[in-house]
Amino acid sequence: MRKTRIFLVVLWMAGAAATAQLSRREITNTTTPEQDSKANSDSVPDVYAINGQFERIVVLRFKYQTDLLAGLNKMVKEQKIRNAVILAGAGSLRGYHIHSVSNRTFPSKNIFVKDPTAPADLVSMNGYVMDGRVHAHVSLAYDDKALGGHLEPGTEVFTFAIVTLGVFRDGIDLSKLDDKNYR
């Protein structure tokens, strides 16, 4: 009986240590009180289209222990990519760091979730490169769970990851796509 108790205590401690890496924090993204409280403008359309054509398709492969976001940023610079669509992403991860919106009114709030020790599959990736700035979203799966959000630094590749970018020809302006104040 004593050996069983000791075993259970050790097992509990190991489980506690394994989950101790998971962290969550919420951050409020205020701009200015005027910006956060402003109403939608009639001069900003409810929806608008940007038409363009791809100049080329770039397929990126990331190796073991590469930070996914840092690697994306590096290749965007090296490949001289100004504007692009992240068409796909797949692979496996050694750990992750993402954030997602956690409220419905301004100022916006984000919940950051990080677990550098939790392996996961990169099920999909999409997003944009806007004027050289990467805005990537990921969907991850592990155990019997799935989660997703904005890709953050600290998401490390396990076996490999592949990301495909559709690079726009010059002359396209994507600068307002993720501007929360353009409303």
The full DSSP string for 40-60 is PPTTS-SS------EEEEEEE
Categorize the per-residue pLDDT at 179 as very low, low, confident or very high, splitting at 50, 70 and 90.
Answer: confident
pLDDT score of 183: 86
pLDDT score of 11: 47
The backbone torsions φ and ψ at residue 78, rounded to the nearest 5 degrees and listed phi first, read -60, -40
Beta bridge partners of 98: 113, 151
Helix (H) or strand (E) run with residue 123 in it: strand 120-130
Q: What pTM was estimated for this model as a whole?
A: 0.84
pLDDT score of 16: 47
Beta bridge partners of 88: 164
Mean pLDDT of 21-50: 86
Tens of pLDDT, residue by residue over 44-100, are 899 999 999 999 999 999 999 999 999 999 999 999 999 999 999 999 999 999 999
| CA 173/CA 176 separation, integer angstroms | 8
| Strands (E) located in the chain | 23-29, 54-62, 84-101, 108-115, 120-130, 133-142, 145-151, 156-168
Categorize the per-residue pLDDT at 21 as very low, low, confident or very high, splitting at 50, 70 and 90.
Answer: confident
Write down all domains in the chain, each with its CATH number in brackets: 2-168 (3.30.1330.80)
Answer whether 167's CB lies under 8 Å from 57's CB.
yes
Q: What is the CA radius of gyration of the chain?
A: 20
| CA 92/CA 121 separation, integer angstroms | 4
pLDDT score of 33: 78
Q: Which of 7-16, 19-28, 58-67, 87-96 has the lowest mean pLDDT?
A: 7-16
Looking at per-residue confidence, does 129 or 181 come out higher?
A: 129
pLDDT score of 123: 98
Tens of pLDDT, residue by residue over 126-143, are 999 999 999 999 999 999
For the cut 50, the answer to whether the pLDDT of residue 170 exceeds it is yes
